[in-house]
């Protein structure tokens, strides 16, 4: 009798965990396919999934209002994408493991533009900064 109760308890626990994991998948296949998933913090992802993580092409709506459209790898922004910040600054370029890194262009809401190298979310390396008034600086940037 104790074994039966233990097996039933394990089964119920498994079912409840499975339901909880799938509870935020609001459409499609959020395990291995295309779907839409709402995260506990209110952010939302729509696109392809691999092993229940964003992987491939997708759109991520951050809880702060910023929107990322582009490539994902193993749950992280990775590859080429476009990130529109809540401030209306727009970055288009490379991402590595969730962070702006590589070559890219940031158009700031005040009209300034930076085109060049990025590392860990900051302009770093060679680039060109064009101010809204037309003045430019071309050279090295450090994070």
pTM of the model: 0.82
Q: How far is CA 96 from CA 44, 77, 80, 101, in A?
A: 20, 7, 9, 6
Instruction: State the maximum Cα–Cα separation within the chain, in Å, rounded to a whole number.
Output: 82
**Per-residue confidence of the chain (143 residues) as pLDDT tens digits?**
455 444 544 444 443 334 444 459 999 999 999 999 999 999 999 999 999 999 999 999 999 999 999 999 999 999 999 999 999 999 999 999 999 999 999 999 999 999 999 999 999 999 999 999 999 999 999 97
Do you know the residue count of the chain? 143
Angstrom distance (rounded) from CA 63 to CA 10: 35
pLDDT at residue 128, rounded to an integer: 98
């Amino acid at each position: 009798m104790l074994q039966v109760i233990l097996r039933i308890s394990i089964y119920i626990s498994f079912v409840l965990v499975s339901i909880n994991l799938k509870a935020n998948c609001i459409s499609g296949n959020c395990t291995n396919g295309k779907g839409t998933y709402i995260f506990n913090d209110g952010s939302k992802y729509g696109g392809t999934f691999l092993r229940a993580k964003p992987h491939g092409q997708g759109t991520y709506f951050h809880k702060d209002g910023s929107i990322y459209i582009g490539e994902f790898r193993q749950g992280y922004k990775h590859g080429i994408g476009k990130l529109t910040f809540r401030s209306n600054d727009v970055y288009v370029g490379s991402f590595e493991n969730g962070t702006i890194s590589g070559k890219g262009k940031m158009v700031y809401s005040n009209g300034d533009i930076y085109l060049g190298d990025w590392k860990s979310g900051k302009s770093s390396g060679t680039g060109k900064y064009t101010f809204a008034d037309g003045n430019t600086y071309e050279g090295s940037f450090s994070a």
